[in-house]
């Protein structure tokens, strides 16, 4: 899964207890905590929708929750272990609530649920419910059984289409969530990179049909969404039959979504270099609403390591691909994922990765020390790299990447660009939006309303954000 947006040294926690719905005295309350990638963010939202239909209101106060749901990430060991320490804390809260005569059902969803199943309840008996990503539409029913005291483990791949069975987002529920939205178009992965758990936790590749995607996108647009980010573990492998009876790829789908009134910006994540086809590159050339920012992980720059990782492309293929993409869209900025210390990685292999980074020049990047994952081929390989070596390589790689990111931001000074205003700023009388390259941009609140796209000039570049004035 290449779509995890974890800061360079950041945490796996994405969001906590988002109160999506107002609570009333009669409703039960759910606290949701989301770890990992944007697909988990999207899934948490859909689970909240399903629970809302069942009388649960969101809360951001865990101690008052009748249901605590952790939507977990299994991508690296650190992410998975965090769940157990969190569960330990929640167990104590559950006991406190029980002493006051209230229930607290504890549910574990997401990729740890899928990978570890019943083992989670064995390790932490306070857990009542374990539910994998393919069975979220069964959550309300599973929850009813859990509340009757049954221990529930739902990790089988359902044959029915979960998206068809999850409640459709209602306009009233979407309004107020913001002007940007995620839309899952594809799930799972058939690539089997040897370090990655995703093919096991999210299953094999499934594409949602065009009609479902377009209907959901139109609903989001009607509710005020201006920017859509299409999600998939291998989003550019998406394919489906179009209304013309022909097989569509992601490029064709983007042309269709660009026609929806109100949708001013399109993005997609995460892509695999092997699936960047001509039509997708042409879409970048032709569609002004397709933003000039692409997350295209390469993982490593050594052909030997790429082969051991089963990436099925060479470093030179990747560089050539980037040249073609930049030829189609000259202002394209690149983002990537990197793993250091994959088994067998020598100093020379690592230098190849550094060289690739120097030649691409990234605007953004996420980098990780290799973490052996149970059940993946990488875990059984020999020549594991010593932790201290991984640390040292990661430090050097991140230093190089952060120089590039910094240079990318600095180069924005004085530039004129479009800005989508997304929310109020932290300071009084400010608003924050995003540049086409995903950078947060701060403007005065008089510059425009939330949801407006305005033209601004960058007056100052800060460490993480840019500052601008309207032109
Ligand atoms: N160890 C370290 N990093 C990993 N990633 C995936 N699996 C592992 C692993 N076992 C990284 C990859 C991927 C990103 C989401 O997480 O870089 O693109
Ligand atoms: Fe994991 Fe590779 Fe599939 Fe991405 S393409 S989800 S890294 S197996």
Per-residue model confidence as pLDDT tens digits over 157-202: 766 677 777 777 666 666 667 899 999 999 999 999 999 999 999 9
* pLDDT (average), residues 420-438: 94
Report the percent of the chain where pLDDT is more than 70. 92
Closest ligand to C-alpha of residue 369 is 1
Nearest CA residue ID for atom 6, ligand 2: 1
* pLDDT (average), residues 348-363: 98
CB 339 within 8 A of CB 370: yes
pLDDT at 25: 47
Nearest atom within ligand 1 for CA of residue 373:
10
Place of tokens 């647009």: 221
In this prediction the pTM is: 0.91
Residue 89 neighbours by CB distance under 10 Å: 10
Cα–Cα distance for residue pair 47/24, rounded to 1 Å: 19
**ω into residue 270 within 30 of 0, thus cis?**
yes
pLDDT at 21: 47
pLDDT at 165: 75
* pLDDT (average), residues 315-339: 98
DSSP, collapsed to helix, strand or coil, labels residue 306 as: helix
CB 68 within 8 A of CB 31: yes
Measure 177 CA to ligand 2 centroid, in angstroms. Answer: 30
Q: Is the CB of 75 under 6 A from ligand 1?
A: yes
Per-residue pLDDT band at 14 (split at 50, 70, 90): low
Whether the predicted pLDDT of 17 surpasses 80: no
Task: Give the helix/strand (H/E) hosting 174.
Answer: helix 171-174
Q: Could you report the per-residue pLDDT of 95-122, keeping only the tens digit for each?
A: 999 999 999 999 999 999 999 999 999 9
Measure 414 CA to ligand 2 centroid, in angstroms. Answer: 38
Closest ligand to C-alpha of residue 234 is 2
* pLDDT (average), residues 36-56: 92
pLDDT at 5: 39
Q: Which residue has the higher pLDDT, 233 or 53?
A: 233
Q: Is the CB of 196 under 6 A from ligand 1?
A: yes
Cα–Cα distance for residue pair 33/143, rounded to 1 Å: 17
For ligand 2, residues with CB inside 6 Å are 1-2, 189, 191-193, 196, 198-199, 233-234, 272
Whether the predicted pLDDT of 24 surpasses 60: no
* pLDDT (average), residues 81-85: 93
Nearest atom within ligand 2 for CA of residue 2:
4
Whether the predicted pLDDT of 317 surpasses 60: yes
- Choose the residue to mutate in 197, 233, 367, 379 for probing ligand 2, maximizing ligand atoms within 8 Å of C-beta: 233
Share the mean pLDDT of the chain: 92
- Choose the residue to mutate in 195, 273, 296 for probing ligand 1, maximizing ligand atoms within 8 Å of C-beta: 195
Whether the predicted pLDDT of 249 surpasses 50: yes
CB 468 within 8 A of CB 442: yes
Q: Bridge partners of 418? A: 455
Q: Is the CB of 297 under 6 A from ligand 1?
A: yes
* pLDDT (average), residues 343-359: 98
Nearest CA residue ID for atom 15, ligand 1: 2
Cα–Cα distance for residue pair 184/306, rounded to 1 Å: 28
Measure 339 CA to ligand 1 centroid, in angstroms. Answer: 6
Phi, psi of 68 (to 5 degrees): -115, 125
Report the percent of the chain where pLDDT is more than 90. 86
- Choose the residue to mutate in 1, 5, 201, 295 for probing ligand 2, maximizing ligand atoms within 8 Å of C-beta: 1
Strands 28-35 and 13-16, how do they pair?
A: antiparallel
Q: Could you report the per-residue pLDDT of 448-461, keeping only the tens digit for each?
A: 999 999 999 999 99
Measure 251 CA to ligand 1 centroid, in angstroms. Answer: 26
pLDDT at 16: 58
* pLDDT (average), residues 336-365: 98
Token pair in block for residue 8: 């360079």
Per-residue pLDDT band at 277 (split at 50, 70, 90): very high
Whether the predicted pLDDT of 275 surpasses 50: yes
Measure 370 CA to ligand 1 centroid, in angstroms. Answer: 7
Whether the predicted pLDDT of 89 surpasses 70: yes
């Amino acid at each position: 899964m290449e779509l995890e947006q974890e800061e360079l040294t950041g945490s796996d926690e994405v969001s906590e207890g988002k109160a999506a719905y107002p609570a009333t005295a009669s409703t039960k309350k759910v606290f949701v905590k989301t770890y990992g990638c944007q697909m988990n963010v999207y899934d948490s939202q859909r689970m909240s929708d399903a629970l809302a239909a069942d009388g649960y209101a969101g809360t951001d106060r865990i101690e008052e929750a009748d249901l605590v749901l952790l939507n977990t990430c299994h991508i690296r060991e650190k992410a998975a272990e965090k769940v157990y320490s969190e569960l330990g804390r929640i167990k104590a809260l559950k006991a406190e609530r029980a002493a006051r005569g209230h229930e607290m059902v504890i549910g574990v969803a997401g990729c740890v649920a899928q990978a570890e199943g019943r083992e989670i309840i064995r390790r932490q008996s306070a857990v009542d419910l374990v539910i994998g990503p393919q069975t979220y539409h069964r959550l309300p029913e599973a929850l009813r059984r859990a509340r009757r005291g049954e221990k529930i483990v739902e990790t089988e791949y359902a044959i029915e289409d979960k998206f068809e069975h999850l409640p459709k987002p209602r306009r009233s529920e979407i309004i107020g969530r913001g002007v940007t939205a995620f839309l899952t178009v594809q799930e799972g992965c058939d690539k089997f990179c040897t370090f990655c758990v995703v093919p096991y936790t999210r299953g094999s590749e499934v594409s949602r049909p065009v009609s479902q995607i377009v209907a959901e996108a139109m609903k989001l647009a009607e509710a005020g969404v201006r920017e859509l980010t299409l999600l998939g573990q291998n989003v550019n492998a998406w394919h489906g039959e179009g209304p013309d009876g022909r097989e569509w790829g992601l490029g064709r789908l983007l042309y269709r979504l660009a026609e929806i009134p109100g949708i001013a910006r399109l993005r997609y994540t995460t892509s695999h270099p092997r699936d960047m086809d001509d039509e997708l590159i042409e879409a970048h050339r032709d569609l002004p609403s397709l933003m000039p920012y692409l997350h295209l992980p390469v993982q490593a720059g050594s052909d030997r390591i790429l082969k051991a990782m089963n990436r099925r492309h060479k470093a030179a293929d990747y560089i050539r691909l980037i040249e073609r993409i930049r030829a189609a869209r000259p202002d394209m900025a690149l983002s990537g994922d990197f793993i250091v210390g994959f088994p067998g990685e020598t100093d020379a292999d690592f230098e190849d990765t550094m060289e690739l980074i120097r030649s691409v020049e990234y605007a953004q990047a996420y980098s990780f020390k290799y973490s052996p994952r149970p059940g993946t081929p990488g875990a059984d390989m020999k020549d594991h790299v010593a932790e201290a070596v991984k640390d040292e390589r990661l430090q050097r790689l991140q230093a190089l990447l952060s120089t590039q990111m910094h240079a990318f931001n600095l180069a924005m000074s004085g530039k004129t660009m479009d800005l989508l205003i997304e929310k109020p700023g932290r300071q009084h009388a400010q608003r924050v939006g995003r540049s086409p390259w995903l950078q947060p941009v701060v403007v005065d609140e008089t510059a425009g309303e939330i949801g407006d796209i305005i033209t601004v000039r960058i007056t100052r570049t800060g460490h993480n954000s840019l500052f601008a004035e309207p032109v």
